[in-house]
Amino acid sequence: MKRIPIVMDFDTGTDDAIALITALQHRDILDIRAVSAVAGNVPLEATAANTRNIVDMLGHDDIIVAKGADKPLKRELHCAISHGKTGLGNVTVPDSGRAYYEKDAADAIYEAALEFPGELVVLATGPQTNLALSIQRYPDIVKLIRKVYIMGGCLVGGNMTQASEFNAYVDPEALQILFRSGVDVTMVGLDVTLQTELPMWVKDKIAAINTPEAQLAVQVFEFMLIRNKEFGYDVANLHDVVAFCAIVHPEVLKLKRYYVDVETEGTITRGMTVADFRDVCPDHEKNVDCAEDIDLDAFWEWFVKVFEERGTVK
């Protein structure tokens, strides 16, 4: 079976790290052309280092790692607090020291799209700055990418404000460029990801697996649980893992296609992802497949099985 060509773009904090660890165990079905980093949960130097170091620690130093944007398109960078200063809390991943790709993330995405026209899949779990820059720099990329899967947005409510999800809030202009570009997008937002609080039985099963992937994931889990218990920050939701799951195991999600746009001018609604639920804008083509619900039992069964059966896959 031909592997799926993919570029993955992370603002690697805690749940991004789990998504990356999970994705790296799928190289039998994924042709990972590049992994890139963007500023978001923490500044770029930290997200890039976390991304590269995890890739290399797990034995995948043949994959190029590219640095991307260090700030949103038009705004000051707003970082999260729940991932700690480094993005990985109290988890230390050895510094690989490997050089980053000589070109930036926007170029790396475009190069992969040229190499696999009409086939490339992009997973983007942070602010959409790198993808937006690639679209602005190379408008023809819109026809070259097969599908973009994002973690971001929400059909109802938010976690950064009452109206917006964090990634959308950080760079709403970038997300608007993506949604208006014509690229086929699947939005995996808070509607489903807030349902994925880590069950203890899942953590315990993965802790019993003696692979580098499982042991690193458990360290991240432990910090996510500590930060919630001691500081009242985010619960241990695996937001970004759900976006990856949408690529390789989409059956767990219920999707519905809407016309969706992003609020960039509002004050209390900055970054709000606004879906046309009632088709009041019939002239606008439906542009985003939105995750509305998730089969949690199937999701957790799949997630555990990844670590039980696929550890150290290259």
Residues recognised as catalytic: 239
Neighbours of 180 (CB within 10 A): 14
The two structure tokens encoding residue 299: 């999701």
Query: Which DSSP string corresponds to 167-196?
Result: HHHH-HHHHHHHHHTT--EEEE-HHHHTT-
Residue (of 187, 38, 234, 8) closest to 109 by Cα position: 8
Q: Looking up tokens 């009041």, which residue turns up? A: 280
The Cα–Cα gap between 272 and 266 comes to 9
The two structure tokens encoding residue 72: 């949103």
Q: Answer whether 146's CB lies under 8 Å from 121's CB.
A: yes
The Cα–Cα gap between 312 and 70 comes to 31
The Cα–Cα gap between 232 and 299 comes to 26
CA distances from 51 to 229, 237, 286 (A): 26, 19, 34
The Cα–Cα gap between 311 and 22 comes to 9
